[in-house]
Structure 1
Amino acid sequence: IVLGYWDLRGICESIRYLLHFAEVEFEDKRYTFGSAPDYGCPEWKNDKFNLGLDFPNLPYLFDGDVKLTQSLAILRYLARKYKLVGESEAETMRLDVLEQELLDLRLKLAKVVYSGPAYEKLREEYLKILPEKLQLLSNYLGDKKFVNGNKVTYVDFILYEVLDFNYIFESTSLDAFANLNSFRHRFENLPAIQKYMSSGKFSRLPIFGPFAAIGGKKE
């Protein structure tokens, strides 16, 4: 298996978590941005239309004859392959709903950090709506260990990323939500995740590209 993406967390880290959690050997192919102002990447420019992808983009996944792009398509494919999905229609629907809610919130945050001169204004607006969004996530998780109860599913990888992104964005954002904080720590202490996070392969930063207002640099 080969997973290709930028050398940052972005929309791909949840896929990396899944592969490490499932203890799958894979090549973690990382592309690096060039310097300002265009941040071009000659290596990706050269690879983009020469990899046999139907819709050339990052991230991409190669698994034997399978060639995929689109982060969610990749995540779902791997989740099905390694049985990290719902076991009933009711569970699948529950995961589908939370998956989409998390992606909506992640997109809202991305729009803020990539907003350029409007960053401070949009940050303030985002922080006003965030507690309500986190309260809904807290209610949905309840007293369960993971989204689907005791069993880890692919949506847990997305949930962790969204919570951690928001914690890095505003360190007090999770203070009122004990179960969300507990989930973060529980996830980080999963043996395979702990092993990955303590290795040289993992870095909490950067989350976003170098042109982001926050989280776009290694420090």
Structure 2
Amino acid sequence: MSKPVIHYFPIRGRAEVLRLAIVAGGDDFDTVDVNYQEMKSDREKYPFGQCPRLVDGDIDLVQSNTIARYLARKYNLQGKDEKEMCAVDMIVEGVESLRVKYVNLIYNDKLEEAAKETYWKTYFDRSSTEGRNGGAHFQYLANFLSKNPGPFCVGDSLTLADLCVWEILDLHLRIFGEQIKEAYPELVSFHEHIAGLPGIKEYLGSAKRLAACNANNLG
């Protein structure tokens, strides 16, 4: 059986969760570097003019969250029943709220010190959870871990929610490492646990994991 193929730019980007889902499911993947002009002109391969794109047999998908949910179903990472599936969906959407803020910090604010200070106060400081944060705060994610017995965000096994939380946390640890370790030790423990799981551990230590997170070499 052929491997799933991920089409993406040579940065981690939003394809990182997709790669994590595949390796967590015990599978492997191939990659294709995207040609920008083709991506913008070929509506058969790239219906929205964007990547990543996943080709898995006769399945051909774009839109990151659509691909992620397909992989979650394929590799049994969607939750065990309707209640768990709904919780997974909620967390995935919560992570997306944070991702929007992260992208702004990286590409618009370019990690300027003043912007980083404001970012921390708005999206990390526990005292700001009831402020105007657009529904984006790491305390909200930490709450799911604190309410769920065991090392996962939902239920008693790995789900897409864990991979999404891990990936957005991993991005922020690169910027606010020591601050997060002091303020959210439970998230750091979660990060270490997920990073040590079979498939994920091997991927993280391999050449398949690209060094660059973002297209502007920040973060």
The interval holding the TM-score normalised by the smaller chain is 0.7 to 0.9
1:113 to 106, 113, 125: 106
Where does residue 144 of structure 2 map in the other structure?
140
The verdict on how the C-alpha distance between 1:177 and 1:47 changes in structure 2, with shifts beyond 3 A counting, is closer
From 17, 20, 26, the counterpart of 1:17: 20
Q: Which residue of 1 aligns with 2:131?
A: none
Whether 1:52 aligns to 2:31 is no
Identity %: 30
From 117, 124, 136, give the equivalent of 1:124: 117
Matches within 5 A, 1:53-202: 53=45, 54-116=47-109, 119-129=112-122, 130-132=124-126, 133-142=137-146, 143-175=149-181, 176-202=183-209
Separation in 2 of the partners of 1:21 and 1:208?
Answer: 23
Deviation at 1:12, TM superposition (A): 0.9
1:14-59 CA-partner distances (Å, limit 9, x unpaired) = 100111111223212234xxxxxxxxxxx33135544723333110
> How far has the Cα of 1:196 moved from its partner?
0.9
Unaligned runs of 5+ in 2: 127-136
Q: Displacement of 1:185 after TM fit?
A: 0.5
2:39 paired with 1:27: no
Distance across 2 between alignment mates of 1:126 and 1:190: 31
1:117 to partner: Cα distance:
6.9
Instruction: Give me the whole-angstrom Cα distance separating, in 1, the residues matched to 2:84 and 2:207.
Output: 35
Q: Distance in 1 between the 2:82 and 2:158 partners?
A: 17
C-alpha distance in structure 2 between counterparts of 1:61 and 1:134, whole Å:
29
Tell me which amino acid in the other structure corresponds to 2:101.
K
Query: 2:27, 2:111 → 1: CA distance?
Result: 42
Change (3 A) 1:3 1:117: closer
Name the CA distance, whole Å, in 2 between partners of 1:20 and 1:13. 11
2:11 to 8, 12, 31: 8
**TM, length-normalised to structure 2:** 0.83
1:184-208 residue CA offsets vs partner (Å, 9 max, x unmatched): 10011102111111111113x3111
CA distance in 2, matches of 1:127, 1:172: 12
Q: What secondary structure sits across from 1:93 in the alignment?
A: helix
For structure 1, the residue ranges without an aligned partner over 5 or more in a row are: 32-42
Equivalent-residue separation in structure 1 for 2:203 and 2:111 (angstroms): 36
For 2:185 and 2:155, locate their aligned partners in 1 and report how far apart those are by CA, in whole Å.
Answer: 17
* Structure 2 counterpart SS, 1:16: helix
Distance 1:116 1:102, change over 3 A: closer
Deviations 1:38-88 (A, max 9, x none): xxxxx3313554472333311001112221111000000111122111222
Contact 2:79 2:154 in 1 (8 A): yes
**Residues 20 and 138 from structure 1, CA distance in 2 versus in 1: closer, same or farther, beyond 3 angstroms?**
same
Q: Secondary structure at the match of 2:49?
A: coil
Q: Map Cα deviations across residues 113-136 of structure 1 (whole Å, 9 max, x no partner).
A: 111578443322111112332222
